[in-house]
Amino acid sequence: MNKIIKQIEDTKLISQIERVVPFHGYLSTGAFIGIQMFNIAKQILDLQNEERIYATCETYNCIPDAFQILGGATIGNKGLKIIDCGKMAVVINRHVPPDETSARGIRIYLDPNKTQKYPRLHAWYLNTQKVPHEEAIYDLQKAGEDVYSYEMVNVDVPIKQAKCVAVCKRCGEYFVCKDEETLCNTCTA
Ligand SMILES: [Zn+2]
């Protein structure tokens, strides 16, 4: 893997890899895709450094970690949502003022019509062959933005609700409630 990193000349990309790898555990193909998707979003939405962003990843695999580290969009700060459709895709939007209920965003996906030009990457993507991460990443860094497609989308921004705390009638534990629930999620499940 170090061999691949050494071939990369873009110093910004190298430093991004160096930040993501300790968090994710290793440089996976998906983590690399997440880094590239983040960079596309940053460029198209003209995001400033440290600007608060929201990411909705359409898979649990690898991609979310790049957005947590590079975009500061985490599970805990509600910047990161995962709607698991098993797709190599992500929707990114920027922060909007509290009275706005919609934000302009971008949906980026790894486009199989475009990965066709890169047989090893394509085989990895479609899972038609066992392809080592090194080989798939080699193609990705060569291709750059060439293998992605994107579209501009409107993202619904939920209205922040007043916090209310209730005690569950069954288990007796306190929980943050949304409406007038009398049972916690554990007890209604
Ligand atoms: Zn309960």
pLDDT tops 90 at residue 171:
yes
132, 175: one domain:
no
Amino acid at 7: Q
99, 135: one domain:
yes
The owner of tokens 């050494």 is 6
10-36 confidence digits (pLDDT tens): 999 999 999 999 999 999 999 999 999
Residue 49: band (very low, low, confident or very high) from pLDDT cuts 50, 70, 90:
confident
Mean pLDDT to the nearest integer, 174-188:
91
Rounded to the nearest angstrom, the distance between the alpha carbon of 163 and the centre of ligand 1 is 18
Q: How far apart are the first and last CA of the chain?
A: 45
Domains identified in the chain, total number:
2
Rounded to the nearest angstrom, the distance between the alpha carbon of 177 and the centre of ligand 1 is 11
Contact 176, 163 (CB under 8 A): yes
106-163 confidence digits (pLDDT tens): 999 999 999 999 999 999 999 999 999 999 999 999 999 999 999 999 999 988 888 8
Rounded to the nearest angstrom, the distance between the alpha carbon of 164 and the centre of ligand 1 is 15
Kindly give, in sequence order, each residue whose CB lies less than 8 Å from that of residue 43, ignoring residues fewer than 6 positions away.
none
Mean pLDDT in the chain? 94
146, 98: one domain:
yes
24, 95: one domain:
yes
141, 92: one domain:
yes
165, 136: one domain:
no
Rounded to the nearest angstrom, the distance between the alpha carbon of 175 and the centre of ligand 1 is 8
Residue 164: band (very low, low, confident or very high) from pLDDT cuts 50, 70, 90:
very high
CA atoms 59, 62, 66, 71: torsion sign: positive
Rounded to the nearest angstrom, the distance between the alpha carbon of 168 and the centre of ligand 1 is 5
What pLDDT score was predicted for residue 50? Answer: 83
94, 128: one domain:
yes
What pLDDT score was predicted for residue 2? Answer: 77
- 69 — phi, psi (to 5°)? -80, -50
Rounded to the nearest angstrom, the distance between the alpha carbon of 76 and the centre of ligand 1 is 23
**What is residue 60's DSSP assignment?**
S
Mean pLDDT to the nearest integer, 56-63:
97
55: how many CB neighbours lie within 10 A of its CB? 26
How many Cα atoms sit within 13 Å of 96 on the Cβ side? 16
What pLDDT score was predicted for residue 62? Answer: 97
92-103 confidence digits (pLDDT tens): 999 998 889 999
Share of the chain above pLDDT 90, in %: 86
Its domain, for residue 98, covers: 2-158
Q: Could you give the CA distance from residue 52 to residue 145 in angstroms, rounded to a whole number?
A: 23
Rounded to the nearest angstrom, the distance between the alpha carbon of 103 and the centre of ligand 1 is 35
Contact 144, 115 (CB under 8 A): no
Contact 115, 123 (CB under 8 A): no
